[in-house]
A and B are shown apart, each in its own frame.
Chain A
Amino acid sequence: MMLKRSTNRGYWWFLLPGLILFVLVIAIPFLMNIGTSFTHWQGVGTPKWAGLDNYARLFRDSTFWASFRNNLAMLVAMTIVPTLLGLLLAAVLYDYITNKFGSRTASFFRAAFYLPQILPVAIAGIVWAWILHPNYGALNGLLETLGLENLTRNWLGNRQTALPSVMVIMVWFQLGYPLVIFMAGLQRIDPEIYEAAVLDGASWFDRFRYITVHLIRPEIFVVLLTTTIASLKVFGQIYVLTRGGPGSSTLVPSYFAYQNFFEKANIGYGSAISTVMTVIIIGLTIFFIRRQSAEEL
């Protein structure tokens, strides 16, 4: 027996609180932000209509482009490297360590690699901020102990080393996430496929390439999508580690928007930056989801 249509009607009431709050907290602010991106506004008084001025300025602004280039560096450090390393580690742990040392050993490694992920991004930043501190930081201390004084430097305060340092920190922070997702995905795979491959004489690397990577494609999609979006939103680590500096060598769009909103009181310009970020993120989401559903068909 099907539920009658009339009994379905009363369900709207349950959506009401959620929908009202959604409109107040997300929809209205989101539209306001798009609105202010077409104005000049200091945050007080009436916003002045500016048309596409802010967007035109954005495309000429070398600082904005610098922040996007740094974003590509974040993409490498948060998406590409952790996904590749995570795949390799997951396959080694699942298909090698589990066989040779038992599943407890593999679970132990998985948990340990995941540990940085449990930290708030800001705390993760702080851990590293003092390890890399030029005067009393542990890294320079270690180098001095080893007699490598000439390698010590102001890691985060130097244009050449600031961005690479931040990238290393991001890899450290991010690695556990793909690893855990991939290992969960590997549990879905029928062990008989591996057995058959072994009987056919497939090497470990063949199995990795043709079975593991192929069969956990859905997980790889999820990881690529979520970490790409996360890399576009990086803020906390930059705030704690470098504040975008020195110069704009570690500036990211998120921090650039923050500066315009709360330090320079250029609300219109800040809104334009965050609107561009939103368009890119939603575009990427649609792209990934379409690709994924195309694969599944």
Chain B
Amino acid sequence: MRLALLISLAAVTAGAGTALAQQRNAQPYREHVPYIDWKPDVTGDIQHTGTYQYWKDRKALNPDWVASKEHQWQLNWKFMDPSYDDTLHGGHIARDRGAALYKKLDAGGAFAACLGARNGDLKGLRANHYPQYSTALGRVVGLEEMIEHCAARQNVTLENGSYDNSAISVYVTEFSNGMPINIDVSKGPLKDAFERGRERFHLRNGATHFACATCHVTLVGRSLRGQVLTTPYGDAAHWPTYRTKDELQSLHVRFAECNRNAGAQPLRPGSPVYSDIEVFLTALSNGYPVDVPSARD
């Protein structure tokens, strides 16, 4: 009797062990240390790197710091945004290209309505409404994903991450220039996306075993690959941006590049994981004004 009981107990433990192993295989262990209590606001940088005061407004930018290599990262490269810098670059060409494409797509007014603009007014659309939960697509999407979706409804292929897609995004985003980013992540699908994005931000993966936070929290201000790492605050407000090495990049294309550099599998622009990270980073830009077409090295 006792022996039978022991055997049955052993069988139960063995069964539990197999189930646990299967669960492990389904979700492999990956290191995840969320070591910052992130607040969805750009002023969180005051506690993080303490550089917010240097780039929060135009008057606070010290011209000596703009010229100094040691201090440029502390201004978070904001002096390369159009409201600080009157130079011309490929972003301006992209904006014109986006304007032409948008006029063609929005000939009947359906494209603007699909993007969520009231009476075709694009002002504040990027700053106040993106990323958002799309009832049409049933998930949280960024502006570029919505442009792809709305163009597809008119039988136009504008793949997320392509030059033309990002160009339209620059054009639409420009209407929000100067308006602070204002997305609400305190409830609903955006809250879930923010939580998932925060987890992804701290999740290590790839050959180098890096999380986003490894470089952009722990190593902020140090050099990596010839560039100085910046904070995640206020950064989402200037995308899509012109980059000297790759004409125009949307935020998701940049994520893919980051993944490649870290030896991780890059995902397609518009994938749910990238959208979650976009929500997280955009929330960290809450209160920081949109500024496009911008340039970064």
Task: Please say whether chains A and B are actual partners in one complex.
Answer: no
Interface residues of A (CB under 8 A from B): none
